[in-house]
Amino acid sequence: MRETPASRETAGGAGPEPPQPRPGRAIAHTAGASRSGTPHRSDGRPPHTPRGARQTGPAGRTGTTPPVPVRPASRRSRAAVAAVCGALFALITWQVVAHGPLRDADERLGRAVFRVVPDALTQPLADLGGMAVAPPVLALAAGWVLWRGREWLRAGAALLAMAAVPALVAPLKLLIARPGPLEPGTGWYPSGHTATAMVAYVAAAMLISPYTRRRWPMPVAVVLTVATGIGLVLRGYHWPLDVLGSWCLFGAVLVVLGSLGSGSAGVSSSGRRRSSSRTRTG
């Protein structure tokens, strides 16, 4: 006859025993258990789950240790852009002063495009770099960020960049003394209207961008700056290299302005976050 568990217990002289819990069954879901029945690995290696593989930061929160160094890389990139702009400005200035082949090509291009578009279209574009249009835009932007965030450093840096336009352009005009394309006299390189438009619109965009939800200010500033340069060339007020030289010179100035204001923007934004958190908790 086939032996059953009950017959084995009777044959052994012992009564029936209640079922005994298997070791490890009650702690099967205990974190880090290595007994039998646990879903974790018995060799001590971390489980292959996203939560188990995640590393924590110094404060116990998930993250990367050490933090990624974003700011030094940004400073290096700004320095590289400023160096490229300065090198291009030096090259263009040397060609204009030495009557090099780049200046000859520039004057041929200028004579080919002067007045090909009606003045009724190009004159308003050229006027975008006038003192009656561009500087008031920057003044409004500076006043707005002062009223909104008390950012004296960024607003002062933007106004200082605008003050650098006549301080840099006027001596260069006198020193280089390039003749104008259609107007009599000398002193047309670099273009002052181009520099005024670039500094005013780009600096204004840099000031108000941290307060806007979308990144529209900088594209608008670039379009206005390029439109000003095109209007000045097509109208016959400047040679193309006059405009390009101003873009290169004050591109370097605006890069320095951006590196100066980035730290203040970070401090002010963090201050706004701390004040808003205190308001919510209080």
Profile the chain (282 residues) by mean pLDDT over runs of 10 residues.
48 53 49 48 53 48 44 75 95 97 96 94 96 96 92 91 95 96 91 97 94 91 98 96 97 83 48 42 42
Q: Is residue 20 part of a domain?
A: no
Residue 266 Cα to chain centre, angstroms: 12
Q: Is residue 195 part of a domain?
A: yes
Query: Per the domain annotation, does 199 fall within a domain?
Result: yes
Q: What pLDDT is recorded for position 140?
A: 96
Q: CA-CA distance, 104 to 279, in Å (whole number)?
A: 64
What tokens were used for 248?
A: 């290169």
35 in a domain, yes or no? no
Please report the pLDDT score of residue 196 as a whole number: 98
pLDDT of residue 202: 96
Q: What is the pLDDT of residue 271?
A: 41
Asked if residue 177 is part of any domain, the answer here is: yes
Residue-level pLDDT at 223: 98
Using CA atoms, how far residue 165 sits from 129, 136, 196, 218, in Å, is: 12, 15, 7, 20
Q: Is residue 188 part of a domain?
A: yes
**In contact, 154 and 209? CB cutoff 8 Å:** no
Q: How many domains does the chain have?
A: 1
Range of the domain at 176: 75-277
233 domain residue, yes or no: yes
- Distance in angstroms (rounded) separating the CA atoms of residues 54 and 16: 50
Does a structural domain hold residue 62? no
Q: Where are the alpha helices (DSSP H) in 12-98?
A: 50-53, 70-97
Q: Kindly report the pTM of this predicted structure.
A: 0.69
